[in-house]
């Protein structure tokens, strides 16, 4: 029994261990690294990635993949800039509309994948170019968002003492992670996502709504991507059609590093949370240490991604024999 | 006893092929009813119609007097019919409890009541006399527990009809016994159980009645106690026990020993087997479906590794590490699963024929186009392959002609031993005769053949020696005059 | 109607339609002139730019897709090889050595993809996705994320010179295409690739080393991407590790799919992919001529890919089943 438990949570523990080790090493190597401010900045800086990664986790759990998230996020940022700045929409309405568009776009991709049986990577790759292109149609260059609502929101947040403030962006991130954990583990939709990723044929034979689940899961991911865009405009007060390039890879890496198996059916939203923190810590270290090339971020996430995939393979092989 | 399930005149077609030709099947409450038949008899199609996986093209199904028309597994389950498949169709990545309650979890608002899920799961398993940690992942348990979980799922949705499709094929003897105990208990509670198995011993151990299907038609339903084994076998394969066919096989050509199989086995799958294959002779592998015929062939060709024993040729152990190694040792294997393991559907007849020869020569030494065309032309003529031309994609040919192309693929290799697994299945009568004739010619040319067929008459007609398999073990090796339909059937049916 | 069933017809028809549109919409489109011993003109540009990236990438991608896989890392591998070649010439290496180093490393990275897929058993999308991230990182790391300008005549000549009046890339890439096609049909490689992609299990049982086949096609894809990266760098006399090859994997997939090779693997058509690449380049140029912003150009490309895939989709085929060839059971 103990052994089973251990092997089931092994990837998650490995993730936690890597995070602790990274932090400890950075704390030893750099002065002032182990401070609340650094951690808070990390959360602030990576909040948009964290939200997108939660959506990605659901898609991967269902046995799929969504390469369009970065582009959907970019589209959201310029859409917000345009409708708030150019058309004078009220900011909350614009945000709701943006998330709605993200959900709708995701559901459409899910429908094409399910109904026409076209590989998810291809549909979402096309979706990525579609959304990115549309972002450029809305605005070919970065636009500043001027809105009293934004200014106001920027100053609000949860005071943590010592003059530290947990702003709306990271707060939303924590809420999304909590909601993701509840949905994944506590609702029928969440369990059906695991079932779909575990074995689609079995799920169908058990009478589970396979099609609706798949369409829904891409809807969730599209919605999360759009919400990531909202958070990114909160942090930067601008919309940019080039933002989020390569984000899909970071989101996938965060999920996989957090123990979600790429073939679907196994994983945790909480693991993704840890994965995002690991990627964020690496970035913070690179920021701290001016001498290290920022390219290491990509190589490290690629290497970690591969390392964790191989770890999953190894565990899968052992549990078979 | 009351009638629980009544399927009347069920017809199911797949394109031009009729899988069920008006089958009638009645299941009583409180009985275990064995459904028997060889490959292509229509057992699995019937089960899939009953469980809503396929929709019938004709006929009616009633459960407890109420007509149902199950268009999906969900509707069949709602009508009280549950199925446990051979490859347990559950979700190994979820907990035992979730697997039992999936789709029917008790809810509080939008949230699942996990405690209640576990409680109900434990209750359902308790009815089967099983106590496990229902929170652990299903995949961490042996197949036997997974099957119990599937049965518990059926119990929880108050199934009245339980279909067990080859549930024992991956269980050991003790696990099978435990399953039978559960089946008997559920029967005594009034459930109707349909039991599919290839093991005669098991059928007789638990069944009350037996229904036999053959070629998509009902042969009959009998009380198990009143049906001798030999008679059951003869119903299944469609041959009278008393009929002739005692031709004593093909007289041995007196060839030298080409291969000797010594105690070859794969633990948990088949064996140990010991027999000799003579040059210029066909050796038959006979036995019912699931007796280990195909498994033997796969082991010989290096697809599944043997765990014990060896194959000897000319005093030396043959390397059977991979199909390539087996090919190098002069073996060739024509799989029974033509579509998945045989043809390359979009490639041409010519390319399919030269494939194995080309693979053994390597990528650089391409068989010249002229030689390829000559080979294709030769085999198309010799085997009477009906195709528009050598460049037609093989996927568009009929089954019999595809089979002949695959034979050609291996004949082109001029192997010392050709393993033919069900070479005549699913092809028309004319093509069957042609393939049998071809086997004769190959034998006379000095090739050894390992001939696997569910059609015992074919085995008797073509072989000089027959290895009879029963329950994945070698039951007997029959030689020359001892080969007859009757002796094979008696060996198969022996307990 | 055997002609209509050939896979080459539809991309050719699409290409002709686009060309006719351009001939009407932008006068002088087909104007070609001879100046300084070489050809100039819009059509020449299409061939030149089409050869340098999409056509070259499509050569490798065709074989990868024919085995039922996909290679998402080609863009990043382009960046690596371009950077390596640029740094080599800056370090004083002769052109041949610089190009050789770029191609060698690119091929190696392709082979790493192959090992991960054929030996370790990762899904092709995943393995090449990892390479896509790490490869780009490697290119950035090698160059310190800086553009690497260089002044090497012979390397620049590779992209901007001419042979017999034709741009060098056109000669080089069409030559490579012809040689590849010739090798695939002269040896049994083409047969093995198609068999592996069409039915891997049956191929293995017929004695084909399907793992080796997969390894080789990813290696070749890496090689093609490497050459493309070198040409891209040579074209502007600088290697930009962030930009070279960015999102070009889509171009390659476009060319292959539009050229009639199915994503499910099996039969492939190198000629189709060449035509597909020209189609892509013509489309890009047409959009440019119609004042569509370059950044928006991927939209119509994505739409075309999806449309072609929908046409291949079994569900849609079933609906219009009468017109397609039944595959007998």
B93, B105, B140 member nearest A194 (Cβ): B93
- As a whole number, the mean pLDDT across chain B is 87
**Is B128 a residue whose pLDDT tops 90?**
no
3-class secondary structure, C96: helix
Contacts of A192 in chain B (CB under 8 A): 103
* A&B contacts, CB < 8 Å: 67
Q: Is C307 on the interface with A (CB under 8 A)?
A: no
CA angle A223, A225, A228 (to 5 degrees): 110
What does the DSSP assignment read for B386-442? --S-TTSBGGGS-HHHHHHHHHHHHHTT--SEEEEESTTTTS-HHHHHHHHHHHHHH
Give the CB-side neighbour count of residue B3, counting CA atoms within 13 A. 11
Contacts of A134 in chain C (CB under 8 A): 299
Of chain B, the percentage scoring pLDDT greater than 70 comes to 95
What pLDDT is stored for residue C315 in this prediction?
A: 66
Chain A 109-128, residues with CB within 8 Å of chain C CB atoms: 112, 115-119, 121-123, 125-128
What pLDDT is stored for residue B241 in this prediction?
A: 58
Q: What is the DSSP letter of C51?
A: I
| Chain A residue with the nearest C-alpha to that of B100 | A206
Chain A 240-299, residues with CB within 8 Å of chain C CB atoms: 241, 246, 249, 252-253, 262-263, 293-299
Residue-wise pLDDT tens digits, B195-209: 988 778 888 999 999
Contact between chains at A313 and C129 (C-beta distance less than 8 A) = no
Min Cα distance A4 → chain B (Å) is 7
Q: Is C184 on the interface with B (CB under 8 A)?
A: no
* B&C contacts, CB < 8 Å: 90
Min Cα distance B172 → chain A (Å) is 17
Contact between chains at C144 and A252 (C-beta distance less than 8 A) = no
**Is B235 a residue whose pLDDT tops 80?**
yes
Superfamily for the B3-237 domain: P-loop containing nucleotide triphosphate hydrolases (3.40.50.300)
What pLDDT is stored for residue C324 in this prediction?
A: 38
Domain extent for A143: 34-320
Contacts of C303 in chain A (CB under 8 A): 126, 130
A4, A194, A205 member nearest B140 (Cβ): A4
Min Cα distance A310 → chain C (Å) is 8
Contact between chains at C328 and B395 (C-beta distance less than 8 A) = yes
| Chain B residue with the nearest C-alpha to that of A7 | B140
Residue-wise pLDDT tens digits, C29-73: 888 888 887 888 888 888 998 999 999 999 999 999 999 999 999
- Ranges of chain A with pLDDT below 70: 1-7, 317-321
Where are the strands (E) in B15-158, listed by range?
A: 17-28, 31-36, 58-63, 66-68, 81-84, 107-108, 111-112
- Kindly state the average pLDDT of the residues C249-266: 87
Contact between chains at C315 and A117 (C-beta distance less than 8 A) = yes
Min Cα distance A115 → chain C (Å) is 8
B323, B345, B367 member nearest C207 (Cβ): B323
| Chain A residue with the nearest C-alpha to that of B52 | A205
Contacts of B98 in chain A (CB under 8 A): 191
Q: Is B389 on the interface with C (CB under 8 A)?
A: no
What pLDDT is stored for residue B14 in this prediction?
A: 83
What pLDDT is stored for residue C2 in this prediction?
A: 44
**Is C3 a residue whose pLDDT tops 70?**
no
Contact between chains at A126 and C134 (C-beta distance less than 8 A) = no
Q: For residues A210 and B427, what is the distance between their CA atoms, to the nearest angstrom?
A: 37
- The CATH fold assigned to B257-493 is Rossmann fold (3.40.50)
In angstroms and rounded to an integer, the radius of gyration of the C-alpha atoms of chain C is 20
* β-bridge partners, A165: A159
Q: For residues B156 and B153, what is the distance between their CA atoms, to the nearest angstrom?
A: 5
Whether the CB-CB separation of C214 and C111 falls below 8 Å is answered with no
Q: Is C302 on the interface with A (CB under 8 A)?
A: yes
Q: What is the DSSP letter of B169?
A: T
Between residues C246 and C198, which one has the greater pLDDT? C198
Q: Is A81 on the interface with C (CB under 8 A)?
A: no
Contact between chains at C297 and A133 (C-beta distance less than 8 A) = yes
Cis peptide bond N-terminal to B272, omega within 30: yes
* β-bridge partners, B163: B83, B194
* Contacting subunits of A (3+ beta carbon pairs below 8 A): B, C
Min Cα distance A233 → chain B (Å) is 32
Q: For residues B462 and B465, what is the distance between their CA atoms, to the nearest angstrom?
A: 9
Give the CB-side neighbour count of residue B4, counting CA atoms within 13 A. 23
Judged by average pLDDT, the poorest of A248-262, B66-80, B86-100 is B66-80
Tell me the ipTM for this assembly.
0.86
| Chain B residue with the nearest C-alpha to that of C326 | B396
Residue A24 lies in a domain: no
Q: Is C189 on the interface with A (CB under 8 A)?
A: no
3-class secondary structure, C57: helix
3-class secondary structure, C219: helix
Whether the CB-CB separation of A254 and A272 falls below 8 Å is answered with yes
Where are the strands (E) in chain A, listed by range?
A: 143-144, 157-161, 164-167, 238-239
Residue B165: both structure tokens together: 């499709």
Cα-based distances in Å from B192 to A48, B2, B151: 57, 10, 13
Contacts of B367 in chain C (CB under 8 A): 188
Contacts of C313 in chain A (CB under 8 A): 116-118
Whether the CB-CB separation of B446 and B279 falls below 8 Å is answered with yes
Between residues A224 and C121, which one has the greater pLDDT? A224
Residue-wise pLDDT tens digits, B141-189: 888 888 889 989 988 888 899 999 888 877 777 888 889 999 999 999 9
B90, B111, B137 member nearest A8 (Cβ): B137
Q: For residues B341 and B301, what is the distance between their CA atoms, to the nearest angstrom?
A: 13
The β-bridge relationship of strands B448-452 and B417-421 is parallel
What pLDDT is stored for residue B52 in this prediction?
A: 84
Residue-wise pLDDT tens digits, C136-177: 989 999 998 889 999 999 999 999 888 888 999 999 999 999
- Kindly state the average pLDDT of the residues C83-99: 94
Min Cα distance B86 → chain A (Å) is 12
Contact between chains at C140 and A295 (C-beta distance less than 8 A) = yes
CATH number of the domain to which A258 belongs: 1.10.3470
Min Cα distance A316 → chain B (Å) is 11
Which residue in A191, A197, A203 has the most chain B C-beta atoms within 10 A of its own C-beta, making it the best mutation to test that interface?
A191
B73, B111, B139 member nearest A207 (Cβ): B73
Between residues C327 and B296, which one has the greater pLDDT? B296
Whether the CB-CB separation of B101 and B118 falls below 8 Å is answered with no
What pLDDT is stored for residue B378 in this prediction?
A: 92
Min Cα distance B122 → chain A (Å) is 18
Min Cα distance A224 → chain C (Å) is 22
**Is B453 a residue whose pLDDT tops 60?**
yes
Min Cα distance C274 → chain B (Å) is 22
Listed by start position, the domains of chain C span: 50-311
Chain C 232-291, residues with CB within 8 Å of chain B CB atoms: 266-267
Q: Is B370 on the interface with C (CB under 8 A)?
A: no
* β-bridge partners, C148: C239
Residue-wise pLDDT tens digits, C94-118: 999 999 999 999 999 999 999 999 9
Look at the block and give the residue holding tokens 């939209």.
Answer: C299
* β-bridge partners, B313: B316
Cα-based distances in Å from C236 to C90, C148, C168: 15, 11, 15
Start-to-end CA span in chain A (Å): 17
Min Cα distance A303 → chain C (Å) is 7
Which string of b and e fits B405-440 if b means at least 16 CB within 10 Å?
bbbbbbbbbebbbbbbbbbbbbbeeebbebbbebbe
Per-residue pLDDT band for C314 (boundaries 50, 70, 90) equals low
Q: How many domains does chain A have?
A: 1
Q: For residues B225 and B269, what is the distance between their CA atoms, to the nearest angstrom?
A: 30
A8, A201, A207 member nearest B103 (Cβ): A207
A4, A205, A206 member nearest B136 (Cβ): A4
Q: Is the pTM above the cut of 0.90?
A: no
Longest distance between any two alpha carbons in chain B, whole Å: 80
Contacts of C263 in chain B (CB under 8 A): none
- Kindly state the average pLDDT of the residues B356-373: 92
**Is C328 a residue whose pLDDT tops 60?**
no
Whether the CB-CB separation of B357 and B374 falls below 8 Å is answered with no
C187, C209, C328 member nearest B397 (Cβ): C328
**Is C216 a residue whose pLDDT tops 70?**
yes
Q: For residues C145 and A294, what is the distance between their CA atoms, to the nearest angstrom?
A: 8
What pLDDT is stored for residue B248 in this prediction?
A: 56
Q: Is C191 on the interface with B (CB under 8 A)?
A: yes
A182, A207, A319 member nearest B77 (Cβ): A207
Between residues B16 and B423, which one has the greater pLDDT? B423
Whether the CB-CB separation of C107 and C78 falls below 8 Å is answered with no
Min Cα distance C203 → chain B (Å) is 7
What pLDDT is stored for residue B86 in this prediction?
A: 72
Q: Is B246 on the interface with C (CB under 8 A)?
A: no
Q: What is the DSSP letter of A67?
A: T
Q: What is the DSSP letter of A34?
A: S
- Residues 6 or more apart from C120 whose CB is under 8 A from it? A310, A313, C127
């Amino acid at each position: 029994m103990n052994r089973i438990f251990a092997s089931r949570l092994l990837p998650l523990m490995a993730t936690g261990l890597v995070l602790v080790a990274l932090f400890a090493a950075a704390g030893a190597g750099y002065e002032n690294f182990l401070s609340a401010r650094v951690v808070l900045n990390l959360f602030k800086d990576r909040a948009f990635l964290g939200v997108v990664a939660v959506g990605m986790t659901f898609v991967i759990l269902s046995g799929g993949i969504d390469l369009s998230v970065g582009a959907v996020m970019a589209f959201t940022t310029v859409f917000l800039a345009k409708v708030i700045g150019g058309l004078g929409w009220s900011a909350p309405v614009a945000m709701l509309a943006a998330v709605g568009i993200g959900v709708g776009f995701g559901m459409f991709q899910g429908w094409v994948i399910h109904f026409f049986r076209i590989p998810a990577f291809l549909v979402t790759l096309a979706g990525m170019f579609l959304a990115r292109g549309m972002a450029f149609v809305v605005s070919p260059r970065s636009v500043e968002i001027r809105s009293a609502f934004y200014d106001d929101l920027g100053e609000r947040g949860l005071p943590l003492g010592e003059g530290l403030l947990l702003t709306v962006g990271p707060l939303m991130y924590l809420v999304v992670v909590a909601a993701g954990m509840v949905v994944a583990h506590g609702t029928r939709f969440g369990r059906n996502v695991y079932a779909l990723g575990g074995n689609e044929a079995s799920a169908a034979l058990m009478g589970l709504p396979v099609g609706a689940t798949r369409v829904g899961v891409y809807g969730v991911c599209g919605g999360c991507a759009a919400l990531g865009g909202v958070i990114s405009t909160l942090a930067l007060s601008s919309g940019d059609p080039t933002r989020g390039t390569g984000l899909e890879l970071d989101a996938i890496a965060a999920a996989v590093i957090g123990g979600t198996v790429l073939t679907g059916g196994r994983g945790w939203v909480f693991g993704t949370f840890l994965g995002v923190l690991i990627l964020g810590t690496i970035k913070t270290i690179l920021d701290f240490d001016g001498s290290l090339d920022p390219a290491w971020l990509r190589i490290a996430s690629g290497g970690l991604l591969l390392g964790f995939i191989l770890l999953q393979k190894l565990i899968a092989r052992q549990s078979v024999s | 006893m009351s009638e629980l399930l009544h399927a009347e005149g069920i017809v199911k077609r797949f394109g031009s092929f009729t899988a069920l030709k008006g089958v009638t099947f009645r299941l009583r409450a409180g009985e275990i009813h064995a459904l028997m038949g060889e490959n292509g008899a229509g057992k699995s199609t019937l089960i899939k119609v009953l469980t809503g996986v396929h929709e019938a093209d004709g006929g009616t199904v009633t459960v407890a007097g109420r007509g149902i028309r199950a268009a999906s597994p969900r509707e069949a389950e709602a009508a009280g019919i549950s199925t446990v498949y051979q490859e347990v169709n559950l979700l190994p990545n979820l907990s035992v409890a979730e697997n039992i309650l999936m789709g029917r979890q008790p809810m509080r608002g939008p949230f699942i009541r996990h405690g209640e899920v576990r409680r109900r799961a434990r209750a359902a398993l308790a009815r089967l006399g099983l106590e496990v940690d229902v929170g652990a992942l299903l995949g961490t348990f042996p197949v036997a527990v997974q099957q119990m979980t599937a049965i518990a799922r059926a119990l929880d949705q108050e199934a009245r009809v339980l279909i067990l499709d080859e549930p024992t094929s991956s269980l050991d003897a003790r696990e099978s016994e435990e399953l039978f105990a559960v089946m008997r208990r559920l029967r005594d509670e009034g459930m109707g159980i349909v039991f599919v198995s290839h093991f005669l011993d098991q059928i007789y151990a638990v069944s009350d009645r037996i229904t036999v299907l053959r070629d998509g038609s009902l042969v009959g339903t009998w009380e198990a106690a009143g049906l001798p084994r030999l008679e059951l076998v003869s119903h299944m394969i469609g041959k009278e026990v008393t009929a002739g066919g005692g031709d004593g096989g093909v007289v041995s050509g007196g060839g030298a020993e080409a291969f000797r199989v010594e105690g070859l086995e794969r633990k948990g799958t088949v064996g140990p087997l010991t027999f000799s294959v003579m040059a210029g002779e066909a050796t038959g592998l006979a036995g019912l479906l699931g007796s280990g015929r195909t498994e033997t062939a796969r082991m010989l060709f290096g697809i599944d590794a043997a765990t014990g024993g060896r194959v000897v040729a000319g005093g030396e152990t043959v390397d059977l590490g991979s199909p390539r190694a087996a090919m190098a040792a002069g073996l060739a294997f024509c799989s029974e699963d033509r579509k998945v393991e045989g043809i390359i559907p979009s490639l041409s007849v010519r390319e399919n024929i030269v494939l194995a020869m080309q693979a053994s020569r390597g990528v650089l030494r391409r068989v010249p186009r002229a030689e390829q065309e000559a080979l294709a032309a030769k085999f198309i003529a010799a085997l009477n392959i009906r195709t528009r031309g050598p460049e037609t994609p093989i996927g568009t040919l009929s089954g019999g002609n595809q089979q002949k192309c695959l034979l050609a693929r291996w004949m082109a290799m001029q192997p010392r031993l050709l393993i033919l697994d069900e070479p005549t299945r699913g092809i028309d009568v004319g093509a069957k005769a042609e393939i049998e004739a071809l086997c004769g010619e190959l034998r006379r040319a000095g090739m050894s053949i390992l001939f696997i067929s569910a059609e015992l008459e074919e085995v008797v007609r073509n072989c000089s020696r027959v290895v009879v398999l029963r329950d994945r073990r070698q039951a007997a090796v029959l030689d020359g005059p001892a080969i007859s339909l009757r002796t094979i059937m008696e060996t198969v049916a022996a307990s | 109607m055997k002609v209509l069933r050939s896979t080459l017809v539809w991309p050719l028809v699409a290409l002709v339609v686009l060309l006719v549109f351009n001939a009407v919409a932008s006068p002088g489109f087909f104007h070609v002139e001879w100046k300084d011993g070489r050809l100039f003109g819009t059509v020449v540009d299409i061939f030149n730019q089409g050869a340098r990236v999409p056509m070259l990438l499509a050569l490798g991608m065709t074989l990868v897709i024919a085995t039922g896989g996909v290679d998402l890392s080609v863009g990043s591998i382009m960046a690596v090889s371009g950077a390596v070649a640029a740094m080599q010439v800056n370090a004083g290496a002769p052109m041949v050595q610089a190009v050789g180093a770029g191609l060698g490393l690119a091929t190696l990275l392709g082979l790493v993809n192959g090992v991960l897929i054929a030996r370790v058993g990762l899904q092709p999308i995943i393995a090449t996705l990892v390479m896509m991230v790490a490869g780009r990182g490697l290119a950035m790391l090698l160059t310190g994320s800086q553009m690497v300008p260089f002044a090497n005549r012979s390397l620049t000549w590779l992209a901007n010179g001419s042979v017999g009046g034709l741009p060098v890339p056109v000669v080089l890439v069409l030559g490579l295409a012809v040689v590849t096609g010739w090798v695939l049909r002269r040896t049994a490689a083409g047969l093995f690739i198609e068999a592996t992609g069409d039915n891997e299990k049956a191929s293995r049982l017929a004695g084909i080393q399907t793992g080796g086949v997969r390894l080789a096609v990813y290696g070749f894809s890496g090689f093609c991407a490497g050459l493309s990266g070198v040409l891209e760098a040579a074209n502007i006399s600088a290697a930009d590790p962030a930009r070279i090859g960015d999102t070009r994997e889509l171009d390659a997939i476009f060319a292959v799919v539009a050229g009639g090779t199915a994503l499910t693997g099996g039969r492939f058509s190198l000629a189709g992919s060449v035509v597909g690449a020209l189609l892509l380049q013509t489309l890009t140029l047409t959009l440019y001529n119609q004042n569509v912003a370059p950044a928006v150009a991927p939209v119509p490309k994505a739409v075309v890919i999806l449309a072609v895939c929908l046409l291949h989709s079994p569900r849609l085929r079933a609906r219009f089943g009468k017109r397609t060839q039944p595959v007998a059971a």
